[in-house]
């Protein structure tokens, strides 16, 4: 996919799963863990490099398909999403012109959503998927605005980034946002629609 040239991925999968009650990263849906679903979405879109920010207890995947993945350990997930974002962007360094941020708990992410964001890439420095007037991940950020990640603190995440910078965000209409698996009830809804 030529739209992805120069675009890396940061997958946020280091959350503490407080509302879920057990490590979400290990939940298996359709024969794959949540982390594998996110990795597969990034790789299918030809995003490179792919950086996964995970908790220290999560071992790298043995599957050769994930060999080129960069596995970054977040030793302090209790500090919130902002630390995971900084760790992921630090790992990307100067290698990319833009980065797409994906969540590690959206196994039903539609590949067309990623494609639509990539196609709109040069409209504004930030590009976000919008469904029902709500902008949410995945989000693409151009290198010129990576510094916005440094301004985040604590468990402030991507929606705050969008709300704080409305003039910088191009909103791409999508059919619907994939369900985040935050609770056991969310998992139940996903498995039994």
98 Cβ partners below 8 Å, 6+ apart?
6, 7, 8, 121, 140, 141, 142, 143
pLDDT exceeds 70 at position 60 = yes
CB 126 within 8 A of CB 170: yes
Residue 106: both structure tokens together = 């959206």
Q: For residues 79 and 9, which has the higher predicted lDDT (pLDDT)?
A: 9
Measured distance CA(109)–CA(104) in Å, rounded: 10
Of the listed ranges 133-137, 152-156, 179-183, the one predicted with least confidence: 179-183
Domain 2-191: which CATH number of 3.90.550.10, 3.40.50.1370, 1.20.120.1770, 1.25.40.10: 3.90.550.10
pTM: 0.89
Digit-coded pLDDT (tens) for 70-107: 999 999 998 888 999 999 999 998 999 999 999 998 88
CB 36 within 8 A of CB 61: yes
pLDDT exceeds 50 at position 165 = yes
pLDDT given at position 22: 61
Q: For residues 175 and 179, which has the higher predicted lDDT (pLDDT)?
A: 175
Percent pLDDT > 70 in the chain is 88
Q: Of 9, 10, 12, nearest to 105 (Cα)? A: 12
Buried b (16+ CB within 10 A) or exposed e, 8-45: bbbbbbbbebeebeeebbebeeeeebbbbbbbbbbbeb
Measured distance CA(53)–CA(13) in Å, rounded: 6
Measured distance CA(2)–CA(56) in Å, rounded: 34
CB 123 within 8 A of CB 57: no
pLDDT given at position 39: 94
Digit-coded pLDDT (tens) for 104-132: 988 888 889 999 999 999 899 999 988 88
């Amino acid at each position: 996919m030529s739209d992805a040239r120069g675009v890396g991925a940061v997958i946020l999968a280091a959350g503490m799963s407080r509302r879920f009650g057990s490590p979400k990263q290990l939940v298996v849906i359709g024969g794959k863990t949540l982390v594998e679903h996110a990795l597969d979405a990034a790789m299918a879109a030809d995003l490179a490099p792919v950086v996964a920010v995970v908790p220290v207890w999560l071992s790298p995947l043995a599957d050769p398909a994930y060999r080129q993945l960069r596995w970054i350990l977040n030793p302090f997930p209790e500090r919130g999403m902002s630390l995971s974002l900084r760790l992921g962007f630090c790992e990307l360094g100067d290698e990319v012109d833009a980065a797409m941020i994906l969540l590690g708990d959206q196994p039903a992410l539609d590949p067309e959503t990623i494609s639509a964001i990539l196609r709109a890439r040069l409209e504004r420095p930030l590009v976000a998927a919008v469904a029902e007037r709500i902008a949410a991940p995945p989000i693409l950020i151009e290198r010129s605005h990576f510094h916005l990640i440094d301004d985040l603190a604590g468990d402030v995440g991507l929606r705050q980034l969008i709300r704080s910078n409305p003039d910088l965000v191009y909103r791409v209409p999508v059919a619907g946002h994939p369900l985040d698996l935050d609770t056991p009830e969310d998992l139940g809804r996903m498995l039994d629609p």
